Structure 1
Amino acid sequence: MQIQLVRHATLRVEYAGQTFLVDPMFSSKGELPAVPNTPNQRPNPGVELPISVEEVLAGVDAVLVTHTHFDHLDEAAIRLLPKHLPVFCQPPDREKLVQHGLEQVIAIEEAYTWQGIHLHRTGGQHGTGEIGQQMGQVSGFVLQRAGEQTLYVAGDTIWCEEVEQAIAEYRPDTIVVFAGAARFLTGDPITMTKEDIVHVANAVPDSRILVAHMETWNHCLLSRRELNECLQEKQLSGRVHVPQDGEIISFQ
Structure 2
Amino acid sequence: MIKPIKKEDTLLEEIKATANKSEGLRIWWLGQSGFLIQWNKFHLLLDPYLSDSLTRKYANTEKQHVRMSELVISPEKLNFIDLVTSSHNHTDHLDAETLNPILDANPGIQFIIPEANRDFVAERLGCDRNIPIGLVDQQSHILNDKVSITAIPSAHNELETNEIGQHKFLGFIIKVGPYTIYHSGDTLWYEGLESKVAPFKPDVMLLPINGNRPERKIAGNMSSEEAAKFGKAIDTGVVIPHHYDMFEFNTEDPANFVKAAEQEGIPYKVLEIGGKLEI
Report if TM-score (shorter chain) is over 0.5. yes
* 1:250 pairs with 2:272: no
Q: Are residues 1:19 and 2:47 paired?
A: no
Q: Report the RMSD for the aligned CA atoms in angstroms.
A: 2.8
Q: Return the alpha-carbon distance in structure 2 between the equivalents of residues 35 and 138 of structure 1.
A: 28
Name 1:138's counterpart in structure 2: 169
SS in 2 for 1:230: helix
TM-score by length of 1: 0.82
The verdict on how the C-alpha distance between 1:151 and 1:78 changes in structure 2, with shifts beyond 3 A counting, is closer
Q: What does residue 9 of structure 2 align with? A: none
Out of 118, 141, 146, which is 1:112 matched to? 141
1:80 corresponds to: 101
Map of 1:31 onto structure 2: 56
Compared CA separation, residues 188 and 240, structure 1 to 2 (3 A): farther
Distance in 2, matches of 1:47 and 1:186, equals: 20
Percent of matched pairs sharing the same residue: 19
- For 1:50, the aligned partner's letter is V
Please report how far the alpha carbon of residue 216 of structure 1 lies from its aligned counterpart in structure 2 after TM superposition.
1.0
Report SS of the residue matched to 1:112: strand
- State the Cα distance separating 1:187 from its structure 2 match: 8.3
Alpha-carbon contact 1:124-1:162 (below 8 Å) kept: no
Query: Matched residues in 2 for 1:248 and 1:58: separation?
Result: 19
The number of residue pairs the alignment matches comes to 240
Residue 17 of structure 1 deviates from its aligned partner by 3.2
**Could you say which residue in structure 1 is the equivalent of 2:90?**
69
Q: Which runs of 5+ in 2 are unaligned?
A: 1-24, 162-166
Give the distance between the partners of 1:2 and 1:120, measured in 2 at CA.
20
User: Is the partner of 1:241 in helix, strand or coil?
Assistant: coil
Q: Which amino acid aligns with 1:126?
A: H
TM norm structure 2: 0.75
Report the secondary structure of 2:182's partner residue: strand
Could you list the per-position Cα deviations for residues 165-218 of structure 1 after superposition, in whole angstroms to 9, with x for gaps in the alignment? 222221111111122115331789721101211221211334211111112134
Residue 205 of structure 2: aligned partner: 175
Report how far residue 81 of structure 1 moved. Answer: 2.4
Aligned 8 A contact 2:72 2:274 in 1: yes
Q: Which residue type is aligned with residue 144 of structure 1?
A: K
Structure 1 Cα separation of the partners of residues 114 and 196 of structure 2: 16
List alignment gaps of at least 5 residues for structure 1: none
**Cα offset, 1:92, TM superposition:** 1.3
Return the alpha-carbon distance in structure 1 between the equivalents of residues 274 and 246 of structure 2: 13
SS of match in other structure, 2:255: helix
Structure 1 CA distance for aligned equivalents of residues 246 and 40 of structure 2: 30
1:31-50 matched pairs, under 5 angstroms = 31-33=56-58, 41-50=63-72
In 2, the alpha carbon distance for the partners of 1:163 and 1:17 equals 32
Amino acid of the structure 2 residue aligned with 1:19: H
Note if contact 2:157-2:187 (Cα within 8 Å) is conserved in structure 1. yes
Matched, 1:195 2:225: yes
Cα separation, partners in 2 of 1:42 and 1:97, compared to 1, 3 Å = closer
Take 2:210 and 2:57, find their aligned partners in 1: how far apart are those partners? 18
CA contact (8 A) 1:35 1:219 kept: no
Q: Distance in 1 between matches of 2:64 and 2:241?
A: 23
Letter in 2 for 1:26: L
Q: Shift of the alpha carbon at 1:108? A: 1.4
| Contact 2:26–2:38 (Cα < 8 Å) also in 1 | yes
C-alpha distance in 1 between matches for 2:229 and 2:60: 28
Q: What's the CA shift for 1:5? A: 0.5
Give the superposition deviation at 1:243: 1.0
CA distance in 2, matches of 1:250, 1:172: 15
| CA–CA distance in structure 1, aligned partners of residues 160 and 242 of structure 2 | 23
